[in-house]
Amino acid sequence: MDIIKKHYIINSAVLCLFSFLSGISSVSAQISEPEKRWKFLTEVYLLFPNMKGETGIGDLVSVPIDANPGDIFSKLKIGGMLYFEARTKKWAITSDLVFMNLENEVTPGTILNSGTVTANQGIWEAVGLFRITSFLEVGAGGRLNHLSTGMDVRRNVFPGGTEEVNRDNTTTWYDPIIIARLTADIRDKWLFQFRGDLGGFGAGSDFTWQLQAYAGYRFSKIFQLTAGYRIISIDYNKDTDAGQFIFNTDEFGPVIRLGFNF
């Protein structure tokens, strides 16, 4: 009986020691690899834009805009695009910054003879999103638009000849927007996203809307690459001391995004 008791005591001690060591190992693993509450994504990207619409300054008749990616990139002085997102399982905060400096030749017509139009355009968008289901997020935010345009053109005059017209205008406005975003992450590798928003409502633009659709692949925990299509429409009309300022354009085209997760 003494031998049996000794074996029992020894076995109990071994089991207690094993349980204690297992507990320490489990706690150590949790401490060494804590679950992140916030995750972050930074993307630099290129938009290959088309631009279509019209712009006008003061008493100058609005100038039609119809440029393809080749036209825009041939006149692109500088451009940059940067996206940042911080997210949890339920919330996401995003920032999207776009800047372009453009110059385009005026197409001769009945009213305009020749000249150039320049535009410095900056858009900063900041929004907050709440996840309703595993694939659907909704939210609100706004876009801060800064636009500086200049026109150096020759206008046809009756009965013959031309006159030089120079106009420039700088304006900044804010468009409140509401957003819906659909996302899918398959096996933590294949990424899909569709996003739409609308806003303005007369607070800044008369109306503005945007659609974006992307598909991508995550090559590692850090690096991902996505491609898709984006269109943003702005209908802005403002009365100024110098007359009316019009910027009514659609900017659209394919997008390539290089992303880093951390």
Q: Domains of the chain: which residue ranges?
A: 1-34, 36-261
Bigger pLDDT: 194 vs 240: 194
Count CB atoms within 10 A of the CB of residue 24: 10
Q: The domain 36-261 is classified under which CATH number: 3.90.320, 3.30.70, 2.40.128, 1.20.140? A: 2.40.128
| Partners of residue 30 on adjacent β-strands | none
Degrees to nearest 5, angle at CA 255 with 94 and 93: 5
29, burial (CB in 10 Å: exposed 0-12, middle 13-18, buried 19+): exposed
| Partners of residue 122 on adjacent β-strands | 99, 146
Q: If you average pLDDT over residues 61-70, what whole number do you get?
A: 75
Distance CA 103, CA 100 (A): 10
Rg (CA), the chain: 29
Nearest to 40 by CA among 228, 227, 224, 186: 224
* Residue 17 pLDDT grade (very low, low, confident, very high; cuts 50, 70, 90): very low
| Partners of residue 215 on adjacent β-strands | 192, 227
Q: CA 257 → CA 162, 196, 213, distances in Å?
A: 46, 18, 12
pTM above 0.85, yes or no: no
Count CB atoms within 10 A of the CB of residue 231: 15
* Residue 109 pLDDT grade (very low, low, confident, very high; cuts 50, 70, 90): low
Residues 176-206: pLDDT tens digits?
Answer: 999 999 999 998 899 999 999 999 999 999 9
Q: CA 225 → CA 114, 116, 182, distances in Å?
A: 42, 37, 18
Residues 23-64: pLDDT tens digits?
Answer: 544 544 454 445 568 999 999 998 888 888 888 777 666 777
Q: If you average pLDDT over residues 166-170, what whole number do you get?
A: 82
* Residue 101 pLDDT grade (very low, low, confident, very high; cuts 50, 70, 90): confident
* Residue 142 pLDDT grade (very low, low, confident, very high; cuts 50, 70, 90): very high
Distance CA 76, CA 100 (A): 7
Q: How far is CA 165 from the centre of its chain?
A: 36
Q: Is the pLDDT of residue 22 over 70?
A: no
pLDDT score, position 61: 60
